[in-house]
Amino acid sequence: MPDTYDVAVVGAGIVGACCAFFAVRRGMSVIVLERGGLVAGTTGSGEGNILVSDKRPGPELDLALLSVRLWRELAAELSGEFGDFELEEKGGLVVAAADDHLAALLALAARQSAAGVRHVAVEAADLPQIEPHINRDLAGGVYYPGDLQVQPAKAVATILAAARTAGARLSLHERVVGAETDTDGRVVHVETQRQHIRARHVVNAAGPWAAGIRGLSGFSLPVSPRRGYILVTEPVAQLVTHKVYTANYVDEVASDDAGMRVATVVEGTPAGTILIGSTRDRVGFNRAIELDALRSLASGAVSLFPILGDVRVIRAYHGFRPFSPDYLPLIGADPTIPGLFHAHGHEGAGIGLAPATGLLIAELLAGDHPSLGLAPFDPARFFAAEVSHATA
């Protein structure tokens, strides 16, 4: 193995995997350092959503549209040789319980349409044609055929396998404890519990842990963990065939309330189980189980699909999403440490946005013109706010 790598990626979740894949495809030598086992962090506790339906027009939607295209290209390129990560053209159905919620949902869909998002307005009487077991008392909804789904663990394994075949190295259970800079302030070493690794560039893709690694930021990163629970039912017949969620989901994602926020999300899987979400609260890395949150998820699912009242929940799990205060990820160069790049802060959209993030980071590392304007995602926006606050 080379003594010095072109790129050291910290974090082997879906974002780190995509950064490594696109970098090595550009001929760079890459090492990926993961603090735990494969899919042991945020990606392993995700649902695999690749959504455009929940994005308001603007930078995140632009990033999502690029990522949807890249997910399809990855599936076509990698499936077979490296495994199948179950990319499903599932489609998303967003429903409203009241007329005013439906009006707001349709207005959002109209704005999304202007940005290139396909959608179909669905009247209340037509909802059962899409989901036969759905509550008959809803006001209506919007169907988004462009929403996709992957199996997160398989996606990471497949993309990392392709990166390793192209020459990347993966080191699991390799906790990064710091980074060192040279006399010019450029990052040159990544320090783990076992070794020092030289790298010309370092990518911080550590998700909700990104702010806690010494030397992997030149300022106080605002990214923090946001906890979320998911229920899993016993395998059943195809009771739910799309991703179905309530119209308040977009607002709950964009809420800055640190307390518990709940919006009903229900979707089936190829294995026959049904996933039920979603909750959000900011409690640090608190792993305690909140039974009230689980009850809220179950109640919301039965309200949306009454037939689920007779279906057993077999397990519940939770994870920590990397929350960014302005709801946009950090993608780009650290404003104070040359050679250091950030790729985190995607909150619950990391799986969906990972390929676009990886491509953009690889383009920056290679000195290429980025495929998408990066100003809205520039980590420097938070450094500027920090400096402004300090001098005020």
Place of tokens 């993608």: 331
| Residue 86 is assigned to a structural domain of this protein | no
Q: What pLDDT score was predicted for residue 288? A: 86
Q: Is residue 83 included in any domain, yes or no?
A: no
Is residue 32 a contact partner of residue 9, using CB atoms and an 8 Å limit?
yes
Q: What is the pLDDT of residue 363?
A: 98
Q: What is the CATH number of the domain that holds 18?
A: 3.50.50.60
User: What is the distance between the alpha carbons of residues 254 and 48, in angstroms, rounded to a whole number?
Assistant: 19
Q: 99 and 41: one domain?
A: no
Which pLDDT belongs to residue 385?
65
Q: Are residues 157 and 300 in the same domain?
A: no
Show Cβ contacts of residue 92 under 8 Å, excluding neighbours closer than 6 positions: 51, 53, 143, 144, 147, 242, 243, 244, 245
**For the whole model, what pTM was predicted?**
0.94
- Residue 331 structural domain: 4-78+152-223+326-391
Q: Which stretches in the chain have pLDDT values below 50?
A: 1
Q: How many domains does the chain have?
A: 2
For position 253, what pLDDT does the model report?
A: 65
Predicted pLDDT at 262: 84
Query: Domain boundary residue among 322, 340, 369?
Result: 322
Residue 298 and residue 213 share a domain = no
Same domain, 244 and 317: yes
* Residue 96 amino acid letter: A
In this prediction, residue 271 carries a pLDDT of 87
Could you tell me the two tokens for 199? 């790298």
